[in-house]
A = this chain, B = another copy of it.
Amino acid sequence: MKIESLGRHILAEFYNCNQEIINDHNLIERYLIDAAKKANATVVESCFHMFNPWGVSGVVVIQESHLTIHTWPELGYASVDLYTCGDEVNPWIAFEYLKEKLQAEKTETIEVPRGMVDKIKRFTKEEYTDVKYKVGI
């Protein structure tokens, strides 16, 4: 069977990462942008912040949704979201790339479909015939 949805969202927990890498705000921004590009996403904008005394928070807005990261260098932990729309982008490529670059020894993931087409049809009063992700910015 196939379930149609507008997007897919991977919630990833990265444990025992390289603590220096996940405290380097420039490096993390570069890795997230590279991850988006490798997944075949189109980067629209990125916003990254260094926290005091530790940690990086950042978002890459892509044409096909977003990638985010929040890191706790003192715990070796990073929380990563990879949310993409459409068939042209593969968030798992971004996941594998980041896992390698952050040197995460252990990862866990949940994948959640977002915008399930049957539910959109079920829960609205409109009659939709063409429910899909449309490329364009």
| A residues lining the B interface (CB < 8 Å) | 6-7, 9, 11, 13, 15-16, 44-45, 47, 49, 51-54, 57-59, 61, 63, 65-66, 68, 70, 72, 75-77, 79, 81, 83, 85, 105-106, 108, 110, 112, 114-116, 119-120, 123-126, 128, 131, 134, 136-137
In contact, B13 and A76 (Cβ under 8 angstroms): no
8 contacts between A and B (CB under 8 A): A13-B114, A15-B123, A16-B124, A57-B66, A58-B61, A75-B131, A76-B120, A76-B126
Q: Classify the secondary structure of A's interface with B.
A: strand
In contact, B70 and A65 (Cβ under 8 angstroms): yes
In contact, B66 and A125 (Cβ under 8 angstroms): no
